[in-house]
Chains A and B, each alone.
Chain A
Amino acid sequence: MVSRTWTCLFGGVAFATAGLASLPAAAQELTIFWAEWDPANYLQELVNEYTAETGVTVTVQTTPWPDFQTKAFAEFNAHGDAYDMVVGDSQWLGAGSTGGHYVDLTGFFNEHDLGNVMAPATVEYYAEYPKGAGKYWAIPLEGDAVGWAYRKDWFEDPAEMAAFKDKYGYDLAVPETFAQLRDIAEFFHRPDESRYGVAIYTQTDYDALAMGFENSLFSYGGDLGDYATYQVDGIINSDEAIAALELYKELYGLTPPNWSNAFFQEGNQAITENLAAMSMNYFAFFPALVNSATNPNADVTGFFANPKGPGGEQFAALGGQGISIVSYSSNQEESLKFLEWFIRDDVQKRWAELGGYTCSAKVLASDEFRSATPYNEAFYQTMFIVKDFWATPEYAELLIQLNKRISNYVQSGQGTAKEALDGLAADWKATFEKYDRY
């Protein structure tokens, strides 16, 4: 009797299990990992529409910026499948691809002709590794670059304009060159009035200081090195690079007090709290500056692209990220379906409407996009003049070495710009030798 009862019970369980297995797969769930900022919220809004369309639940999981890289790579290193996709920084491409953490998307990329669909800079920096190899590891998702916000009311004040012209001999207007930017910053730098010239990036926790310095470095005609040969000596410590670093230090002297650890939050605060005439920041943080709920000076805040250097060259530091499929995810097929949806023209347009910086060349070039906000035109122009940091697997070591050398000179006032950059060239050369790059 007991035996029969157990047989029935096991039989029932087996039947139920087989029944469940034969049912069509239940709606899946996908998790995208990104940093905690407004674009991640916009992405969540966008993917909710994917859920409505397909029944697949997509969650955008976030973590604060300083913790983003550590948390993502801790999960990769553990071969964890907590995230199906990650919107990783452009510098991660080397570590993500060579470490086996990212799925190779070359086939997908070529099948959908994304090299032409997406803006050229976003393909080069967010997707391809090594550069020029035709191997793609991400789909450009959020385009971004560094731009500038400024106080229009300060610039357009007749008394200020007259005083500026008296002092510098030309009209006070949006700076077209770094020399003009320096003059304007100096002109408005009045600590006795709690008013300061300029707000720049200085934080050394991650890539803020590097991205800030890159803006002057690239426009001055300098570069970080030769990404194909890994040559750095004579490039990162060239005369142009030295002049660019000297300028960056000069600008640091015109920042508000306590500005040695500043990143995007402080950059926006400089405008919202009447601290500085101009503020460097990623375009992705500018929506808060045109919103009068978050910026009491929204009506008098203007925007401009990174200015030219002394030789007329004009570049800007690249921000933004591509979306990659994590190779440890058990939902890779479903993730590919999501990406197919994401690259659709109508979805890219919707992404831009929600506040995301689309990388779709067609949407970016449209009048609708370029006139949608006061800063979209500057963003559009900037996306053609961007350059990025090293994307090699050892990029984190290179970044920390740069932070140390540059911060010693800019914030701590130790040595000269040449000594700082010569030291950096030696550090980087030693690092590349350690990883057999030569």
Chain B
Amino acid sequence: MIPHVLNFILFLPLIGAAAVLLARRSDNAVRWTGLLFSLITFVISLLLYFEYDPANPAMQFVEKVSWIPSLNVSYHIGLDGISMLLVVLTTFLTPIVLISSWKSVQKQTAAYVALMLVLETAMIGVFSSLDTFLFYVFWELILIPMYFIIGIWGGKERIYATVKFFIFTMVGSLLMLIAIIWLGYYASTLPGGVFTTDITQLFDIAPTIPLNIQAWMFGAFALSFLIKVPAFPLHTWLPDAHVQAPTGGSVILAGVLLKMGTYGLIRFNLQLFPQSTLEFASLLSVLGVIGIIYGALVSMVQKDVKKLVAYSSVSHMGFILLGIFGVTVQGLQGGLIQMLNHGLSTGALFLIVGMIYDRRHTRMIEEFGGLARQIPVFSTFFLIVTLSSIGLPGLNGFIGEFLVLIGSFQSQVLGSIWYVVFASTGVVFAAVYMLWMFQRVVFGESRSPENAKLVDLSAREIGLLLPIVLFIVWIGVYPSTFLSKSESSVQRVVEKIEQVQRGEIFTTSVSPSK
């Protein structure tokens, strides 16, 4: 095992970004440098998977260096089974994104590649931070590259979209910052306590916060994360951001950034505020269920394929919310697998939409038709990814959805089967909006003479989709590869909340005062 392996993974992309800027003489040098760094990062990150010990309940690959001693802030990173898988998802998708932009990004290539690599560091940072302050820094750092990626390489209305994206996220994260500061302050009010931002310490401290204050803390974190997910009704930035973002931006946005929201809900809301989790679980599950149905219905009537996929994200992410707030091992495991699934399937869908857009410069459903005959390889990949997205058993989507549903069905926290009954209708609607779109785009006859000029996928494009399809099948057939790594971490989250339910963890009844 490489010592300090997580440090390497975290900063390699950043170093790569610097290297890219040095290599900017030729676009190809830039692309290859970026790809090389992201590939090395991915290969090293595989070590995380193999070295991670599910039997060890503590955080692993931990690094801790004091950063701002006066505030007790430290550079503290580490992974459990949940965050490890998300880090690997990130490092897996980044090279794919870079290759996907090989041809389509022609202006300011160096800046694009460098921003993507900065983004990768920030995303890995979010998943591996064990310090609230550090977490916040990475969380906000995401905004900068993403702002430019949409704003520079985006579509016609990119400025509106990127500002909307920025403001939505900022509103949430400001409240989160206040909550982070308040948490540190609360720790200092305890007997012998000091101001702290250490998450592992806060795991023990935060659950004792008086209920009424905990609710505010919970709300501040939840709002920030729900915007990111995005949960109904905070989702309207997403379709705009997706439609305007370049393909690579969309893939990262859907593939990884949305997961930061659901990851945050598990890491902070569930683990820091178990009492409030119990209190708000129903509300958030309702939002999840509404998101599932609403996202699907709105998706159904879209005329732009990319917008359709964007709204489908709202639906898919709703399943994850439901899984998280059912607070069962199955539900959370399903939610986690669904995070990976959504990263793979929706990521692949955006790639596919990008490929057709590169060729036709339109994404309107009515412009296509009959692609199956014209570009069969493309259509085959499209079909497999579509089937994964609608949760066909044997492919990945089913595993996540099924575990979420069967978990939340038994949930003691929710205490009612109706959440799942309504959520399950999403399974029907998903088939409706995806297959209807697929029928109009791929089957039937071509509705535009332009389609006759379409050429099938290049080797590069097949190479992009093939690894994703491999994992789509893998997770569908043998999900244990992933489930077994995160099971113990998920169990710990659930156990803590069960302890609260059994009355084994007490909140202090009085407000803290100095």
Are A and B part of the same complex? no
Residues of B within 8 A of A (CB): none
Residues of A within 8 A of B (CB): none
